[in-house]
Amino acid sequence: MAPVGQLDRSQLTHDALVAAAKSLAPNMRARLAETEALRKLPEATLAEYRATGVNRVLQPARFGGAELSFRSLMDVCGTIAATCPSSGWVLAQYCMHAFMIGSWPVECQEEIWGNKHNALLSGSLVFPLGRAKREAGGYRVTGRWPFASGVWGSDWHMCSAFLEPERAGDAPDMIMFMLPKTDYELIDNWHVIGLRGTGSIDVRLDNHFVPAHRALTVDETKMGSAPGAKFHNSTLYRIPTYAAFGFVQGGAAIGVATGMYDAYVTETKARAAKSTGKSLAEHAPLQMRVAEAGACIDAARILLYADADEMYRLAAASQYPDMVSRTRFRRDGAFASQLCTRAVDALYAVAGGGALYNANPLERYFRDSHAVNAHITMNWEVNAAAFGKAALGLSPESPTL
């Protein structure tokens, strides 16, 4: 029997998935208000993700995925985010966690995708909020993790913990666990100003047993030698996992800013000043804001494309990036997000009073752009400081890198 959601390879190319994402735009736009009111993605959106395969950009080809690149991730998820930021954000999380699982033990991958190619995977990776102990055959895990974007609709969820050391005085390992949706408790507490539709609630686990094949330490993700990397023999899964996080949130940021830019330009072309009746498009200050915003978005995209290409080239040559490079990749993701928010702010500042209304799409892009920047991987101060330390020969104090 064929796995659920099996697609033809022709449906999983870069061009096919970008086209699929574009085809979803009208439906995403029609569900914008519903998505925010629900505070999670509607079932119809989840069904479209499963049917089109847009969540499989980085999923292993062996298990029905496209196994493409981080450029493709940014293009597909950014296309969705330009129409519905919350939907694009969640899609990016689904794609990233599929990429991560490509490095995990084969038994775990078989369990997730063996009979269901269209499984959706979420995660919340805040290690200090979980505790794990070894026991026969696996681990005993307890914790409560926030910001579980997309967990309402996912089939599996990745959580994280500090693993109790075997010897007193040793530092705990950082470890991740994969759980089916029947194993954890959902805590409905996502009442927020931005990215309202992502359903980024808390997840709780209490003294729960997780078998060993559904676990992976952070150290195993660093050198391209994780179990799944060996199994797939793929350049993609030799990329250091946590160094690549900037492409996920950064790609969403570019999509949000692009949506803001397109909406502002369309609106401004049709607007006239109430006092004079003169077309607002003729005002030089607005023209300059449009130029600034466009340059910021283009610069962000070029920067992340270049980093994605460099990271892939290094992995293809079995070269592991040094700490300066790894922190630079994260720095650039945060900087790209800063550029995108600058673009959004530049346009919102000259959008007029009409942009204050909830019915105006510009206010949603404004809120959501700032919400993207709240993510730790997009925090400029954190990621800039880590790079600065590494560049100056100091420890960046970034244990996941």
Q: What is the pLDDT of residues 154-213, one digit of tens each?
A: 999 999 999 999 887 788 999 999 999 999 999 999 999 999 999 999 999 999 999 999
Give the residue among 179, 216, 211 at the shortest CA–CA distance from 104. 216
CB 87 within 8 A of CB 263: no
Per-residue pLDDT, averaged over 373-382, amounts to 92
> Any idea what DSSP says for residue 170?
S
pTM for this predicted structure: 0.96
Q: How many residues does the chain have?
A: 401
CB atoms within 10 A of CB 1: 5
CB 218 within 8 A of CB 175: yes
Give the residue among 81, 104, 106 at the shortest CA–CA distance from 92. 81
Give the residue among 222, 141, 150 at the shortest CA–CA distance from 184. 141
Say yes or no: domain 9-113 is CATH 3.90.600.10: no
> Cα–Cα distances in Å, from 37 out to 12, 172, 196, 199, 356?
32, 41, 8, 11, 18
Question: 252 is written with which tokens?
Answer: 């969403």
Per-residue pLDDT, averaged over 106-119, amounts to 96
Average pLDDT, whole number, for the chain?
94
CB atoms within 10 A of CB 171: 9
CB 214 within 8 A of CB 178: yes
Alpha carbon distance 246, 254 (integer Å): 12
Per-residue pLDDT, averaged over 308-333, amounts to 95
Look up the CATH superfamily of 121-218: Butyryl-CoA Dehydrogenase, subunit A, domain 2 (2.40.110.10)
Proportion of the chain above pLDDT 90, given as a percent: 84
Alpha carbon distance 322, 193 (integer Å): 38
Note the pLDDT tens digit of each residue in 4-30: 889 999 999 999 999 999 999 999 999
Alpha carbon distance 80, 379 (integer Å): 23
Domain ranges for the chain, please list them: 9-113, 121-218, 242-273+280-391
Given this model, what pLDDT does residue 273 score?
A: 66
Which one is the CATH code of 242-273+280-391: 1.10.10.10, 3.40.50.720, 1.20.1250.20, 1.20.140.10? Answer: 1.20.140.10
90 — pLDDT class (breaks 50, 70, 90):
very high
Do 9-113 and 121-218 come out as alike in CATH topology? Answer: no
Alpha helix (H) residue ranges in 237-283: 245-270
pLDDT of 275 strictly over 80 = no
SS (H, E, C) 49-90: HHHHCHHHCCCCHHHCCCCCCHHHHHHHHHHHHHHCHHHHHH
Given this model, what pLDDT does residue 337 score?
A: 97
Note the pLDDT tens digit of each residue in 211-248: 999 999 999 988 777 888 888 888 999 999 999 999 99
Question: 166 is written with which tokens?
Answer: 């075997």
Residue with tokens 């689904």: 94
Given this model, what pLDDT does residue 243 score?
A: 92
